[in-house]
Every structure is written in structure tokens, then in C-alpha cells.
């Protein structure tokens, strides 16, 4: 029976966007690096020794993390009959990997829904290209998450979706293992992509919305203007 008292295992992975390394430092002597959103396994560096944890072995590894670090990070409590409500959409999410402290979905890498949704940044809008423009500082710095088809969604097999593109996720995941996250952009690029002048001016003045969860920005090393 799944415990209703113990907190669930939550892992806050750090995404270094310039180097594309997605990693988590559990303690001084334990670090994991995820490859292609975990689809290609993980590098484990423990007490100076580097080993590989395959995708299939990750389940067992999460139990090991719980056993040794559960008091700080929580306990892995899988339940394949569990569903949670999506925070913004009118639907229920299958949440077998656990439930975050906010009551929402955790993915296979034990990341919170709010991280996967890119709440470290405020969304500005979509350009004509499908690119999503975002900001961490009320419009002073502009980032973009490009739209593409380099994904693993089932819709790729459906001819009805032949022209569909998906916006890059904030971090690589199982369905977007090749996601590169946000890239640096500019007011000029937004304008060329069809973002209206009122929106651009509001960003230039630093008057755009604040990020929904600015505390999540510590989970990223962002690219900088050249």
C-alpha cells in the first residue's frame, strides 16, 4: 500500500542551457546526469566512481535514492492507478510516479509539473513560426522556445498532424528527449516573427508579467546575450 504520510520523491534537476547538461547533485559525493531526458539512461557519479544507470534500472535506482536520502528528497511511491488534476487544464493526469508537494504530477525523473510547464519564465506569446517567446525578468531579457517535429509523440504517425510542430519543452523529457530548452532572442526577432509592437514596447519597458514561479530559475543556467 502506498503511504499517505511520507512525502513523495521529488528531484529538482538543473538544466545548464549553454552546455545542455541536465543533472542533479544529491549530495557532495552523488551526482546524476540524465541523457536525452532519461531515454538514454543516466550517468551516476558516486564517491568519485562513474557508472551508468540504464533507463530500465532507473526505477530501482529511485528506490535506492529513497532508502538513503528519503528524509531530504522524499520517498519513491509508485502507484499505477493514481491520477491527479492538471493545474491549468480541465483534465486528470496519470501520475504513477508520485505527487508533488503542490498536489500535481511528477514525471519519470521525479520532476514537478510546474518545472515541466516552464513556470520559471513568463510567457510573452507565440510568433508566426510557432516559436514561444518568454522572459525571466519582465521583458528585459527575451528567450525563445522553438517549434519543431523532433519529438516522440504518437501524433507523428498520423497524417492529420503532418504540418504540426511542437514547442520545445523547458527541459528534455521522455517525449521530447532532444529538447534544447530556451535560447536567447531579441525584440527584433519577436517583431520579425509577428509579435505586435505594443507587446514588444511593454517588454522593453520591463513591464511584462513576472514569472509564475521565479524560484524555479535556480534550476537553470540561462544563455546570455553575446
What are the structural domain ranges in the chain?
Answer: 14-116, 122-221
> What are residue 89's phi and psi, to 5 degrees?
-110, 150
Closest by CA to 75, choosing from 169, 6, 4, is 6
pLDDT of residue 226: 64
Q: For 153-209, write each residue's pLDDT tens digit.
A: 899 888 888 988 999 999 999 999 999 999 999 999 999 999 999 999 999 999 999
Is the model's pLDDT at 3 over the cut of 60?
Answer: no
Beta bridge partners of 45: 31, 50
Q: Give 26's pLDDT tier (boundaries 50, 70, 90).
A: very high
d(CA 22, CA 31): 11
Q: Give 225's pLDDT tier (boundaries 50, 70, 90).
A: confident
Positive/negative CA dihedral, 27, 29, 30, 36: positive
pLDDT of residue 141: 97
- 49-53 and 83-85 beta bridge pairing: unpaired
Is the model's pLDDT at 20 over the cut of 80?
Answer: yes
Amino acid at each position: 500500500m502506498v503511504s499517505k504520510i511520507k512525502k513523495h520523491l521529488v528531484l529538482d534537476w538543473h538544466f545548464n542551457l549553454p552546455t545542455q547538461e541536465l543533472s542533479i547533485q544529491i549530495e557532495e559525493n552523488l551526482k546524476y546526469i540524465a541523457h536525452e531526458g532519461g531515454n538514454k539512461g543516466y550517468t551516476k557519479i558516486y564517491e568519485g566512481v562513474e557508472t551508468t544507470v540504464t533507463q530500465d534500472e532507473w526505477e530501482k535506482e529511485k528506490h535506492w535514492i529513497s532508502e538513503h536520502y528519503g528524509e531530504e528528497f522524499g520517498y519513491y511511491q509508485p502507484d499505477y492507478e493514481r491520477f491527479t488534476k492538471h493545474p491549468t487544464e480541465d483534465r486528470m493526469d496519470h501520475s504513477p510516479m508520485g505527487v508533488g508537494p503542490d498536489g500535481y504530477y511528477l514525471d519519470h525523473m521525479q520532476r514537478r509539473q510546474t518545472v515541466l510547464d516552464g513556470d520559471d519564465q513568463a510567457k510573452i506569446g507565440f510568433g508566426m513560426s510557432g516559436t514561444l517567446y518568454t522572459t525571466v525578468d519582465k521583458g528585459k531579457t527575451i528567450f525563445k522556445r522553438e517549434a519543431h517535429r523532433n519529438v516522440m509523440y504518437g501524433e507523428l504517425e498520423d497524417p492529420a498532424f503532418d504540418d504540426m510542430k511542437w514547442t520545445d519543452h523547458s527541459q528534455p523529457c521522455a517525449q521530447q528527449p532532444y529538447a534544447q530548452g530556451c535560447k536567447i532572442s531579441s525584440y527584433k526577432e519577436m517583431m520579425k516573427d509577428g509579435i505586435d509592437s505594443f507587446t514588444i514596447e511593454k517588454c522593453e519597458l520591463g513591464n511584462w508579467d513576472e514569472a509564475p514561479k521565479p524560484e524555479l530559475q535556480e534550476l537553470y543556467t540561462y544563455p546570455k546575450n553575446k
